[in-house]
Amino acid sequence: MEEQTVQTKKPVSRAFVGIVTSDKMDKTVVVSVSEKKMDRLYKKYVTRSKKYMAHDEKNEASIGDTVRIVECRPLSKNKCWRLAEIVERAK
């Protein structure tokens, strides 16, 4: 009989691009991610935003920076995202 090999797929980690709104905590930044969604009833685009707490190991991001965050294991009660890269520095 032939052996069947089971291939396990790594789950795709989610990533967002947002703007840093707070960097007051040590090794943590708050990133605001906004998206435009069409309202089903009124057929208009509505901007919705959500805040994520992300781990910033080197404290390199500052307020106004555009950053990319990726999902990771839970690091604390509210923090399960980490800073992947700084896309653009604030002017």
pLDDT at 58 over 90: yes
| Predicted TM-score of the model (pTM) | 0.81
Proportion of the chain above pLDDT 90, given as a percent: 84
Banded pLDDT at 8 (limits 50, 70, 90): confident
> What number is the average pLDDT over the span 33-42?
96
Cα four-point dihedral sign 61, 89, 80, 39:
positive
Question: To the nearest whole number, what is the mean pLDDT of the chain?
Answer: 92
Q: pLDDT (tens digit, 9 = 90+) per residue, 45-54?
A: 999 999 999 9
Sequence-distant (≥ 6) Cβ neighbours of residue 6 within 8 angstroms: none
